[in-house]
Amino acid sequence: MKTLMTQRLVGITADVSLATALRLMAEGGIRHLPVFDGSWCCGLLVETDVVGHLLAGVPEERSATSVAHLVRPAPAVTAAARRSVAARSIQIGGLDAVLVMEGDRLVGIVTTTDLIRSLAGRPDSIDAGTAP
């Protein structure tokens, strides 16, 4: 998992506003934010959920509310888990990401994109614009 996962994590707490969460996602070019209660990761905030929520009503009113009601429980694997375990956890969990844990500590996130890049054998080629 360590070679697949994103280790540079941006996390939030459940009381963060939707507008702030969306800004962090846009600035970081990320689609998932781990949500913490103290040092414990209680789930993920997924970009599509935030956008869907904002589009469902008056954005000015909805963007000020907290992310708490949009946090999803996320499947987790250990840092030593095989790629197939992460893929299966993603499939069963119904999200496009899995948390990577070392004990109780979040150390990374693996997404379906990470798994596809890994299967293609070129983890950086897609970002570099050199994919076939």
CATH code, 22: 3.10.580.10
Is 104 contained in some domain?
Answer: yes
**Cα–Cα dist 120/116, whole Å:** 6
Is 83 contained in some domain?
Answer: yes
Is 5 contained in some domain?
Answer: no
Q: What is the pLDDT of residue 62?
A: 62
Q: What is the pLDDT of residue 113?
A: 92
DSSP 66: B
Is 64 contained in some domain?
Answer: yes
* Parent domain of 57: 12-127
Q: What is the pLDDT of residue 78?
A: 95
**Cα–Cα dist 10/1, whole Å:** 18
Q: What is the pLDDT of residue 56?
A: 79
pTM of the model: 0.82
Q: What is the mean pLDDT of each run of 10 residues along the chain (132 residues)?
A: 86 92 92 93 92 73 78 94 93 93 94 90 50 40
- Residues facing 101 on adjacent strands: 78, 106
Is 6 contained in some domain?
Answer: no
